[in-house]
């Protein structure tokens, strides 16, 4: 399921007074100009949260759904344009016991039914990414209903990644690009080879074409990825899109994660220097002037290294 193409423009509005006192105090320390455009969260640790309390795993997921709502509402109050939550991976679908998968599907439906009003009260629009068509039809129907019921909202876009895997997203994107090219060739009455030769392969396939064919084509890439429960993995989440994202890992388990912790992660993010492969703002022209000329460096390498180190292997 791809998001609808005619979406309302994001309209920030002043809802900071709705933050809790603790959140407001932390928000006051943030730079409002540097609020990320897009935060993506790998929600992890529901099972461990339940295990620590000798509860069934299902109750961890149930508590995790509560966290979703708290965090999304704080995101909407600070005018975060996009928040994407990894709710259910393709691998979860294939590798978890059927009973847990069925429970997660039921929980998703009841979460959507129970929270659409709150989403509307918070001006949040709901969208999805993933191979949604493989989910049970009654789940798809409820998802469709929730996205339609919130489609006119102009605040935060909450995207739930469901039956999502980043590699399969890239496969889907490649298939879409190829299918579109074949259709165009057919329409023009020429072969695919001829079509590509007209403009050249570079003009027909570059990074923009791939980004534009991903499920997330309409969103900026995440500025910040948060993972709860301390695991240091990306788990097949938005691999293409997070090429230059900042990553924040917290030991806190997802069911204990709240809006204040989102603000803490943003505070940490605001202290980072993003370089996107460049040198960053702190690297000045004076630093560049201070660098030794290449010839001197080359000479130093020759004189400093022993013949053995220089010998061909
Ligand atoms: C990881 O915890 C979490 C999931 C596999 C599912 C995430 C689901 C929710 C947060 C609740 C439902 C969400 C919505 C939107 C209604 P885990 O089970 O892998 O935890 P563990 O690693 O401690 O076992």
| Secondary structure of 151-178 in HEC code, one letter for each residue | CCCCCCEEEEEEEECHHHHHHHHHHHHH
pLDDT of the residue at 111: 98
pLDDT of amino acid 54: 98
Please tell me the distance from the alpha carbon of residue 223 to that of residue 256, in angstroms, as a whole number.
23
Which ranges of 34-162 does DSSP label H, i.e. alpha helix? 46-52, 57-77, 90-95, 98-121, 137-149
For the chain (313 residues), the mean pLDDT of every run of 10, in chain order, is 70 91 98 97 98 97 98 97 96 92 97 98 98 97 98 97 98 98 96 94 96 98 98 97 98 98 98 83 69 68 62 56
Atom of ligand 1 at shortest distance to CA of 112? 16
Which pLDDT belongs to residue 289? 72
CA dist., res. 221 & res. 147, Å (int):
21
Residues with CB under 6 A from ligand 1: 43-48, 61, 64-65, 68, 87-88, 92, 107-108, 111, 160, 229, 254
Tokens of 123: 């001006």
Is the pTM higher than 0.85? The answer reads: yes
Q: Tell me, yes or no, if 92 is annotated catalytic.
A: yes
**Given this model, what pLDDT does residue 275 score?**
81
What is the pLDDT at residue 123? 97
Active site residue 44: yes
What does the pLDDT read at residue 307? 58
Question: What is the predicted pLDDT for the residue at 41?
Answer: 98
CA of 42 to the centre of ligand 1 (A): 9
Let me know: does 130 contact 90? Beta carbons within 8 Å. yes
Residue with tokens 């060739």: 185
The protein residue with its alpha carbon nearest to ligand 1, atom 24, reads 47
Exposure letters 57-72 (e unless 16+ CB within 10 A, then b): bbebbbbbbebbbebb
Residue nearest to atom 22 of ligand 1 (CA): 45
Residue whose CA is at the smallest distance from ligand 1 atom 10: 64
């Amino acid at each position: 399921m791809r998001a609808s193409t005619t979406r309302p423009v994001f309209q920030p509005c002043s809802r900071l007074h709705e933050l809790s006192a603790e959140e407001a105090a932390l928000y006051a320390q943030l730079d409002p100009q540097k609020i990320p455009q897009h935060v993506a969260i790998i929600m992890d640790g529901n099972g461990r949260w339940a295990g620590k309390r000798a509860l069934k795993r299902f109750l961890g997921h149930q508590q995790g759904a509560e966290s979703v709502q708290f965090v999304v509402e704080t995101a909407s109050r600070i005018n975060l344009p996009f928040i994407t939550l990894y709710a259910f991976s393709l691998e979860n679908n294939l590798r978890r016991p059927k009973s847990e998968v069925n429970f997660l599907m039921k929980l998703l439906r009841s979460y959507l039914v129970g929270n659409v009003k709150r989403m509307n009260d918070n001006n949040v629009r709901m969208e999805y990414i993933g191979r949604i068509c493989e989910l049970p039809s009654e789940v798809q129907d409820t998802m469709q209903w929730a996205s339609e019921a919130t489609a006119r909202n102009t605040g935060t876009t909450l995207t739930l990644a469901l039956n999502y895997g980043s590699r399969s997203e890239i496969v889907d994107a490649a298939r879409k690009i190829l299918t579109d090219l074949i259709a165009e060739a057919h329409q023009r009455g020429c072969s695919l080879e001829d079509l590509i030769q007209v403009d050249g392969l570079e003009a027909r396939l570059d990074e923009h074409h791939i980004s534009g064919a991903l499920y997330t084509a309409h969103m900026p890439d995440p500025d910040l990825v948060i993972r709860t429960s301390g695991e240091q993995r990306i788990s097949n989440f938005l691999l293409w899109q997070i090429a230059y994202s900042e990553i924040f890992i917290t030991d806190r388990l997802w069911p204990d994660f709240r809006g204040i912790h989102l603000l803490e992660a943003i505070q940490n993010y605001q202290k980072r220097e993003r370089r996107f492969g460049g040198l960053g703002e702190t690297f000045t022209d004076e630093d560049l002037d201070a660098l030794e000329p290449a010839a001197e460096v080359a000479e130093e390498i020759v004189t400093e290294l022993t013949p053995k180190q220089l010998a061909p292997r």
